[in-house]
Structure 1
């Protein structure tokens, strides 16, 4: 019940912040991804923002965890040339992606993609804890695979099947995300729900404990594959043709195989932010 209360509080605060801002501009449709205006032309679009962000991660006391509130740079958009693209879509909680479109129709699209889906875990990231003392570095890798995007009744379905191509963790992941934009006269509301499966190799590399890392308080741990469920909410309220106020909230929860790791203190994480966005 505690996790549900935290999520509800974050979402209510986010909506309250957005609704309290007055503006007369109309919301515009801005959630389209990897679709150039003309396949023969180079096309780019960039939105830059500055947000005040509060977050919690699975591991307490890391330097990149915002225990209070920190300023965070927001960069969304992409560059497109024919079937190639590089894209950042934080509106939907996705990492920077490089890709090539294999097939595109009105409702469905297939891409070859690559990006980094796992962040590093290192002893030198500690700020207020010693839980990572003596562990080997868990480094980010580069995952690649195929992505399918399907649009029906204004609902966007995105499926990704990826595998580590740098042999860092030798794992795989499967993710399914569903999103739908809602519009009022002055606001865009974009919720996204997701479910991912992380293979045993990936979970073991980042959250397992080898014999040479074990201590009396940190036993050997060999996890199995597990799931991650997520919810992301993006609100945008234009102030003019180029400026908007935005708010975001994200929440995720993980399976027992990951949350039972000796280096993990929480089985969920969240973030909430509010700021301004400039469209170029």
Structure 2
């Protein structure tokens, strides 16, 4: 309970910035069907990078592009198809992209829709050190390639919030891994504010963890044998606070905190067991 409380008090997510048109069923929360929803948030933010010797990732703008038809939809690079739509339940087929690659590449889609440095030579501890293990310093890292995940998501709508359950698998045989998510979201509207609070649990299979966080022999021969990947659950919390100025303009304050799974944090590629993101700015919906 203490960990959950700490996560809750220290986090917020990068927002979904589209505001609903007046003809939407729920003002300020939905996207009008059969119309493109375009927006951009501009401001200042930063995403911490848990990778050793990698720079934190600045966040200056967040584009939003979405289209929802009767069944098909497109939302910030992801494509989906609605199978079931009821008042208290919906089921979709969806695609998504992994958040893990974003730590390695500044312009990964996960860093857009919201400068790394590597050392070329390994250094070793001196003879006076209490440990004979070499420092976790690496040659240039091999590529961690982009891939799309495909699977299904279900939403359960209750008076106490919305629950999202999702399971996806690598579609292009990059790592042949799977991911799952359990996410609870609650929204409330004090006056002109719209505040979203979420608790998130992300599961990553052993193949996903191994592909992104294991050390390859060319990167460091010693540490490639020491770390053995395993599946694990990331835990996080997200809060977005929007103040509605006009039909097109919002002010934004957003924060996200992720407690990285112990199985991932044990990788010598990481020197932190968490990642946090904040963003302060304004959003315009076209």
CA-to-partner distance for each residue in 1:123-177, whole Å, 9 max, x for gaps?
9963375545243211121100001011111511111100001010110011011
Is 1:127 the counterpart of 2:117? The answer is yes
**Unmatched segments (≥5 aa) in structure 2:** 13-25, 107-114, 121-136
Distance 1:2 1:147 in 2: 27
Distance 1:5 1:102 in 2: 37
TM-score with structure 1 length normalisation?
0.78
Structure 2 CA distance for partners of 1:134 and 1:49, relative to 1, 3 Å: closer
Moved over 6 A (4+): 1-7
TM-score with structure 2 length normalisation?
0.77
Alignment partner, residue 71 of structure 2: 83
Secondary structure of 1:43's counterpart equals coil
Alignment partner, residue 256 of structure 2: 250
Distance 2:82 2:271 in 1: 40
Distance 2:195 2:159 in 1: 16
Structure 2 CA distance for partners of 1:112 and 1:99, relative to 1, 3 Å: same
CA-to-partner distance for each residue in 1:23-75, whole Å, 9 max, x for gaps?
xxxxx84344xx754xxxx2322221102002212114435x23xxx452222
Distance 2:80 2:140 in 1: 37
RMSD: 2.8
Give 1:242 shift: 1.4
Alignment partner, residue 109 of structure 1: 90
Distance 2:262 2:188 in 1: 34
Residues 54 and 117 in structure 2, CA contact (< 8 A), matched pair in contact too? yes
